[in-house]
Structures are given as structure tokens and as C-alpha cells.
Structure 1
Amino acid sequence: MEIQIEETDSKGRYFFVGPNGAVAELTFSKTGAGMIIIDHTGVPEALRGQGAGLKLLERVVSDARSAGKTIIPLCPFAAAQFKRHPGWADVRR
């Protein structure tokens, strides 16, 4: 599963297309050069139970850490995962 990124000046999304053509995505908004807000994670039924949302979120955390950015997890899924992963505290705002 190859995670791709699409970005504009103010928004973006991480996504991948499953073998059946279903698309899982995590969308975000940019707030300045150093912070993003995760506002939605969507995993279609065909990809549920396979860790798709977590894989997207792990990639966002890794990219934020590499770029020195922080994350505000407004999306309920992302917020719950940040609580389950204390090792991500360095990128949480």
C-alpha cells in the first residue's frame, strides 16, 4: 500500500487506493509553516479492520516529526490514536 500526498497552500490529504479501488484518506489544514490540523480520517468499509487509518496517521506523524511540525488532532479518530500512542507527544500541539 503506497501512501500518497496531495497538497495546496492551505490544505492537504494523505491517501491510498486499496486493491479493490477503495480510497482511504486523512485530510488536514495547514496553520502556518509549523503546524497542521488533522480534520478527517475516512476509511471505506472495504478497507476497515486492516489498520488503514492508523497507517495513514503514522505517516503523518513521521512526516511532521521530520519537518519539525506539530499536529492538532481534531478528528476523533486521530485524537483517540494520539491518546493511545504517548510516543507521539513530541508532535502533538
Structure 2
Amino acid sequence: MADISNVRNNAAKGRYELTIDGQLAIAAYEQREGALVFTHTEVPEALEGQGVGSRLVRAALADARERGLKVVPLCHFVEAYIERHPEEHDLLALDAPG
């Protein structure tokens, strides 16, 4: 498993951030009613295909779990990640807020 310790939650900007080689990848979210609503992810072109997005989402989901929050994956990347990882299915909010 890749190290996720350098992913940080920038709550002021509503996003998880991972900086690699001076380039910033983000997973944006809105926190509502006990859930993180993921709206989009962005990975710089130079970092694509290296698992950066997956590292970012894995860390974000681990943080949501630790904080007792559910997840609403409006972002297709986050949705696809959760679909591929059944161990994360319990994080899905059954009644999506908002």
C-alpha cells in the first residue's frame, strides 16, 4: 500500500491535497450533515498514471472513516475508486445530503 501520510486535509479550502515534485493534486469536497460530498479531483497531467489520484482518495476516505463521516461521491473518480474497493462501501451515505 502506498504511503498516504503526506496527504493533508485543507479544511479551509474544502479539499484534500497531495504535493509531489512541486505539483498539487486535490480532491475537493463539501462537508454536509455528517458526510463529505466529493465534487471533483484534479491531478496534474505530469502526475497522471502514477496512482496519485488513488493515493489521494484512499487518504481522504481513511480520514472520513476516522472522523465518523459518510461519503457522497459526486466525483466520478471517487465513485470509481469506491466501486473498485468493496472495503470502502460502508462509507457510502445511504441518504445523500443536499
CA distance in 2, matches of 1:64, 1:26: 13
Unaligned runs of 5+ in 1: none
* Cα displacement (A) at 1:81: 1.0
CA distance in 2, matches of 1:83, 1:3: 22
Q: Number of aligned pairs?
A: 89
* Cα displacement (A) at 1:17: 1.5
Q: Which residue does 1:22 correspond to in 2?
A: 23
Q: Which residue does 2:76 correspond to in 1?
A: 76
Say which of 12, 16, 21 aligns to 2:14. Answer: 12
CA distance in 1, matches of 2:61, 2:14: 14
Deviations 1:21-64 (A, max 9, x none): 211110000112x1110001100111111111101110111111
State the Cα RMSD in Å: 1.4
Unaligned runs of 5+ in 2: 94-98
CA distance in 2, matches of 1:74, 1:59: 17
SS of residue paired to 1:79: helix
Identity %, equivalent residues: 36
1:53 pairs with 2:57: no
Q: Which residue does 2:41 correspond to in 1?
A: 41
Amino acid at match of 2:92: R
Which structure has more relative contact order (CA 8 Å, sep 6+)? It is 2
Amino acid at match of 2:20: G
